[in-house]
A and B are shown apart, each in its own frame.
Chain A
Amino acid sequence: MNEVKNRSGFWFAVKSLVSGLQLTWKHFKNAKNRRTPEYVTDKNYFNQPDGLVTLTYPYEAIPVPDNGRYRLHNEIDDCIVCDLCAKICPVNCITIESVKATEEIGMTSDGTKKRLYAPVFDIDMAKCCYCGLCTTVCPTDCLTMTPVYDFAEVDIKNMIYHFTDLSPEQAEEKKQLLAKQQEEMAAAKAAALAARRQG
């Protein structure tokens, strides 16, 4: 009965009104502090009980985890165009066309020889489901996930990222080189075959 009495009446109402004002005043006073954009492992991350919680996003942002899965990036210089990523992709968002090189075209940074050109290496980020399987299978670690997550586009076509380093003319040239080499090889093979038949 006593408890009920304490929770009503004029002075209780006044007390509750004043404590409400005190609460907002406390927040107003603490508005000079502001949350800092720190990573979750930072000592301060859970240690900012008061002050403004807003981060001015485009100017500052909480860092994303290292193993976070966001926008894909392909370092085409390191890519051996093995097509593994396109094969494992569950949503078929990676499109790769390859052209065999006529000679060895260099080394990736981990020492693998590159034998294929990629006239087309497109990733459709609008289709991508950010599962990260492609980065797991990539033998040269050239396909990685970056911490970039803010890449909305007005036109959905811009969501297709082109990673090839060949212009269409260069690609055409490489194709012709390959065709020529294959012709030569076929001719040489035919000559060898003919020679063996004669011999």
Chain B
Amino acid sequence: MLAFVLTLVLLLSIVIVLAYAERKVAAFMQDRMGPTEAGPHGSLQAVLDVLKLLQKEDIVPAAADKKLFKLAPILIFAAVFAGFAVIPFTPDLVPAGIGIGVFYLLAIISLDVVGLLMAGWGSNNKYAMLGAMRSVAQIVSYEIPAGLAILAAVMVCQSLDFQEISYQQGALINQFPGLEHEINWLFGIEALGINTTTIGGITTWNIFRAPILMVAFVIYFIASLAESNRAPFDIPEAESELVAGFHVEYSGFRFAMLFLAEYSMMVLVSLVAVILFLGSWNTPLPNIGPFSLAYWTTGTVGELSSILWGGFWLLSKTFVLLFLQLQIRWTYPRLRVDQLMHLCWKVLTPIALGVVLIAGIWRLLMI
């Protein structure tokens, strides 16, 4: 229960920061100023927006399918929020450390699609319906390259446990039960003979342990943009075509839930990308000779220092990815539906299949 509350509070604060950052970043990239009035540099704008939404009337359209309409935001948010259960925030802090975390996460965020369809259908609105159908088609399609890219990482790590995958990508690898005798080689190639087990840092991140995962990371990142309905894959809520897509009929608290779910999804996919590919909560600084930077910036497992360092590295990497998501939104134009499907089925999926194959071969080099 404590983990639930803590995760929710952490998530809400990240989303508030993200909503503010979105407006400021968008403004700066378009040579505007963004919010300036509420609080210093408009920093209270996102909080006030939430307060405004909470005060608004909760409108349920007369012709809506009321049960579906009312249930959809709860289901959408619950599906995304449940994904956070398996995310390891620090070396010894994970809300629910289950062994099949990756599998559970992929399964639970697929439920999101059902909620979207419920919202679109229940609204009894043509824009909502179109948006929901596009959204479902897009998310279901992009789960394939995303899943394959994740599979490549899982094959390299030989584990479905996020915490074990995290431990593997740093100097603490031998402290995880079951990994006491694991050895990390540079680029995962034992033949090179460079042992990075105690060097840690960026050299043991998954994208350097097995450089093929760099490709997997790019594929996953592109697919994750589509899964969280972000530009340039935001056709489900294309403002200029569909008003707002599946959530066009929602107002007040229910809209706030959908908004929260959308931003939580962004945070979640970025967290997963960081954990699977970018070294999770591990420091990017390696141990170099007498300067054991990796140990200094990791802390001791089980103590406060490791919680602070771990949380700091995980969140800062996540925010870098989130910033990239924002920048991409304000850089690239929206894809057409056929281009979207072309990219998914004819480009990303074949490459991802190739990456899975190469990752399997790479794993053979690592042992």
Residues of chain A at the chain B interface (Cβ within 8 Å): 17, 20-21, 23-25, 27-28, 31, 34, 51-54, 56
Contacts and interface: CB of A to CB of B under 8 A. Distances in A.
Given A27-B29, A31-B28, 4 more contacts: A27-B31, A31-B29, A52-B28, A52-B31
Contact of B331 (A23, A31, A54): A23
Nearest to B329: A24
Given A17-B332, A31-B28, A52-B28, A25 B33 contact: no
Contacts of B332: 17, 20
A55 to B, nearest CB: 9
Interface of B: 25, 27-33, 36, 327-328, 330-332
16 contacts: A20-B331, A20-B332, A21-B328, A21-B331, A23-B331, A24-B29, A24-B327, A24-B330, A28-B25, A28-B29, A31-B31, A34-B33, A52-B28, A52-B32, A53-B31, A53-B32
Contacts of A23: 331
B221 to A, nearest CB: 13
A54 B33 contact: yes
Given A20-B331, A20-B332, A27 B33 contact: no
Contacts of A24: 29, 327, 330-331
A25 B32 contact: no
Q: Is the interface of B mostly helix, strand, loop or mixed?
A: loop
Contacts of B36: 56
Contacts of A27: 28-31
A21 B327 contact: yes
Nearest to B28: A31
A173 to B, nearest CB: 51
A52 B327 contact: no
Contacts of A56: 33, 36
A27 B28 CA distance: 7
Contacts of A25: 327
- Nearest 7 CB-CB pairings of A with B: A31-B28, A54-B33, A24-B331, A24-B29, A20-B331, A28-B28, A53-B31
Nearest to B25: A28
Contacts of A28: 25, 28-29, 327
Contacts of B27: 31, 52
Contacts of B327: 21, 24-25, 28
Give the most central of A23, A25, A31: most B CB within 10 Å.
A31
B230 to A, nearest CB: 15
Contacts of B25: 28
A49 to B, nearest CB: 11
Contacts of B330: 24
A54 B31 CA distance: 7
B79 to A, nearest CB: 31
Contacts of B30: 27
A54 B32 contact: yes
Contacts of B33: 34, 52, 54, 56
A20 B328 CA distance: 9
A113 B36 CA distance: 54
Contacts of A52: 27-28, 31-33
Nearest to A31: B28
A53 B331 CA distance: 19
Contacts of B331: 20-21, 23-24
